[in-house]
Amino acid sequence: MASKRVLKRDVNNVLGDIIDAAYLHQAANPKEDPAKSEAIVDEAIATFDELIAKINKRNVENKKQHFKEVNKEFETKAEALVEKVNAL
């Protein structure tokens, strides 16, 4: 893990790309129900808020281990969101 700043930037960029993909799908397919893509956007925003709160947590005993766990959780949740976007 390079730094807290890099992890925050990665979370922001990846989840932002997922939100963009959901909105692109919504714009490209206007006849489909937008509720599915909006649900993905809502989930991505909630995931972002949750991960940033965990990254900013100050009273962590082992910071290196904490950031590894946050990074692993981030990868898992991002993969799940990408699968949902691909399934649209």
Q: How many angstroms separate the first and last alpha carbons of the chain?
A: 33
- pLDDT, tens only, 35-61: 889 999 999 999 999 999 999 988 888
Task: Classify burial at 25, counting beta carbons within 10 Å of its beta carbon; exposed 0-12, middle 13-18, buried 19 or more.
Answer: middle
Give residue 78's domain range: 4-87
CA 51-53-58 angle, 5° bins = 125
What number of residues does the chain have?
88
Tell me 58's DSSP state.
-
pLDDT of 2 reads: 57
pLDDT of 30 reads: 85
> Using an 8 Å Cβ cutoff, are 78 and 18 in contact?
yes
- pLDDT, tens only, 14-31: 999 999 999 999 999 888
Looking at residues 3-13, what average pLDDT do you find? Answer: 91
As for how many domains the chain has, the answer is: 1
pTM of the predicted protein model: 0.87
Question: Considering only 1-5, 66-70, 77-81, which range has the smallest mean pLDDT?
Answer: 1-5
